[in-house]
Amino acid sequence: MLCNIVFSTQYLIGAGAYVLVMATDTASDTGTATANEPIYVDGQSQLDDVVAERDVVLTDFYADWCGPCQMLEPIVETLAAETGATVAKVDVDANQQLAASYGVRGVPTLVLFAGGEQVEKVVGLQGEDQLRTLIETYVESR
């Protein structure tokens, strides 16, 4: 499942309907998570810091209004708690330029970093087992 988005202040939500979305500041959430909770990232420099400081980072580009993103949320929370990867979450509404720089055209989009480099990109709702296997491939090689 995938929510397609257009990067502007209007988002196509299906059947020609649009919704106006206002960006919110998520910076207050950044850095408050422990190692086993997702880290909410606001901006390129914060994502760069997380990727530089951690060996394996699964970055979830999401939107609050996206149904598949909401379905993925408990999965990424479980992966943050049970795997050796750090989970970073990027709200595409508040971070449109950051999302665009990673080629995010729909949500959810998951970008996996290992050793500071982007190694995988997965678009759409994914199962926990598939994501766990993907993460463990890179965690075990570190």
Residues marked as catalytic:
66, 69
Q: Distance between CA 136 and CA 63 in Å, rounded?
A: 26
C-alpha dist (Å) from residue 77 to 52, 70, 88, 104, 122: 21, 11, 10, 21, 17
> What three-state secondary structure class fits 62?
strand
H or E, element range at 31 = none
At residue 73, the 3 state secondary structure works out as helix
Q: Compute how many other C-beta atoms are within 10 angstroms of the C-beta atom of residue 133.
A: 10
Please, which residues have CB within 8 angstroms of residue 43's CB and are 6 or more apart in sequence? 27, 95, 98
Residue type, 133: T
